Structure 1
Amino acid sequence: MGRGRVEAPGRELPVLQDVISMTKKSVMARPGLVLLLLLSPLSLQPSSLSQLDNTEGKATLSGLILSALERATTFLEERLPEINLDGVVGFQVLEVQLRGAQEAWALDPLLQPLSLRAGHLADKVAPLLHSSIAYLNLSDPEYLREFQPSLQPGFWKLPRTWTQTNASLVYPWPKLQDSFSEDSSDSCLVLLLGTGNTSSQPCGLSDFCRTLMTKPGCSGYYLSHQLLFFLWARMKGCTKGLFSQSQHYISIFCANMMDLNQRAEAIRYAYPIQDLFMENIMFCGIGGFSDFYKRRWLEAILSWQKPQEGCFGVPAAGDEVRHADRLYQQHALRRVKRREKQFTDGCSSHSTATAVAALGGFLYILADQPLVHGERHPSTLSQGSMTAAPLDLLP
């Protein structure tokens, strides 16, 4: 979601100087990213959890995550009429993750207090989600109709086996310029869900969407929405034709999203990269890639929460990097925020959604993964996954 030089399994991430050197070769194509990579690093505090043993560390981390999620849920409750669909989807994913953690912790008498706490929060989120749908039906009924399946119970499914990203799948530098269109992406997702005006059958796929959603070399929100397309195909049970290769594309996209997150860490998560950084953790975590759940990324996300409001969004020091924000959105990681809800206090509906779903993923993997001396138990590794322990949450 050890700073400075970052390494991925089987592939060394270039230090910032090397990245800048490579980037200068494609300056005309990606000026926004160049500016981001040239930003001065922000000061980072050392880990406050580094001295905890495994048992205490696991319980403490879970408690910290639950506290952050409780504050975010209070934000949802207070702003319910104003939260957009993106925000609601994030909390829908969170409810599923809370139920998963509750179920896993209930099996261990020592962790039952955490189980009860997770269950209590899930019970609070559920009626808020129900009420939010009524508000969305008033404010944006057509958009709600098209994407309502993603808000229905049972749509989001948690991973039961875990793997790691494969660095050999990362696209060669430089990546193609991001030309992400939210309208085009939405049209393909609607066709997939079967909620369009001309089709009621799920798993729809046009030639245009096939090309759009499998285009290599993409980055930013284009890349994360390519992943979302195949994740939703999996959720809907689409297995024929192109969808028989869903895992292949999911593996490619998450390998490149891991590379992007590592680069984001190298520039100290300069705003506004935080939103995409958390979205990548949210989606690839749901995809079953455990190496996105790094303790230092968890600590970074927790530090971005606004203590009073409980939300996520524009950081307090955001004005210092506004110049980067403009180029960033125009070039490297452009996202058309057609329905984004940015509050006057700096809270963002989309950023809060990605944050709670990312944090919920951290919570779920802490509950789901049995630890043996700080490493995952081998039985939880999926076939073909790497043998090195990817759960970088505990010392």
Structure 2
Amino acid sequence: MFLTLKETLYLLTGWLTLFVIGTDLFVISPLLPFIAQEFRITPAVAGWMVTVFSLMYAISAPFFGWLSDRKGRRFFIIFGLLSFCLSNFLTAISPTFTMLIISRILAGLSVAAITPIIYAIIGDTASPERRGIWLSFVVSGHLMALWAGAPIGTLLKQFLGWRSIFIGLATIAALLSILNFRVWASINIVHSVEAQTKGSVIRIISAVSVTTFWAIAMYALYVYLGTGLVLYNHFSPAELAFSITVYGIGAVFGSLSSGRVTNIIGSRMLSIFSTAMLIGILALLGLSFSTGTWVYLLLFFWALIGYASFTSYQARLAEEFPEIRGMVLALNNTALYIGITLGSIIGGFVITKWGFFALPFICSAIALISCLITVKRKMNTRVDST
């Protein structure tokens, strides 16, 4: 089934917007050493740029999602993009580290008004039979930044300096605000206040907790992946960069393929099946991590399965909570950031206490918890629908 010109614009606008947002998120990590050097601080202190961004995002995303359900999506997307433009400009011109931190707090606030609402507005505009494919496509824009946007930004730093990257992001965000303003002009779905009361708080918390455990299972290992590859596989910097690229490609393929599979077996079945497979691939990584170049294949399939699970679950939430889609998808993104934070803490504890090789097995056990909650929710959904 072919897309109309308007549908194509919806998808490309969502994809481009999330690609730029993702580039801002992922490019910080490789730039931290240079930022720390310029401001004469330690890399650990510079890491607060990421921490304050994540905290502000996690706190404010549900608020923006709730508002967008009541007032419409477009206003908050444009607000977020203009704030994103300002925050990146401030990052680029910050004369002190304090100003830099303030700019990243504003960046976290602005991204909270963009990312989950883009997911929600795509869910609003897609027909039920296309929703999985459409969501998987726009999610791939965010993941593409992991292996394309961030490396390009890092390369530009070599020629123009790290501040130029944020000037570029601010400029592109300003252009995207115009594009989003025009493209979403006819989309202003607003649900009634009564409709927003549907769905108990416990049911929503149970739903997004799946993502928290998924994120812990994925990121407890991913955060320390470079450490493991260098210490136990003796990877060179070039091999390490290639391994991250392979992982990123697997993530994009996983996201894109999940949409088509969702159309065949449904988002509920795919989310359960892919999360169950994630348990196995993490255990296999633990058994085969020191297999040299074979680890590339394992990293590809880990990302492929893991992000197929995440994207299909996003589609499932969009289907299950149509009246409060913006708020639930925003809460799901908050759950994601909570999981990433907990994952980094748990990963550090595990490798300190039991060593790196225990980490994939711990992550596999955590993925099992995510899978069990997913299955239980499927059973509850069946009961509710009878």
What TM-score does the superposition give when structure 2 sets the normalisation length? 0.29
What TM-score does the superposition give when structure 1 sets the normalisation length? 0.29
More helix by share: 2
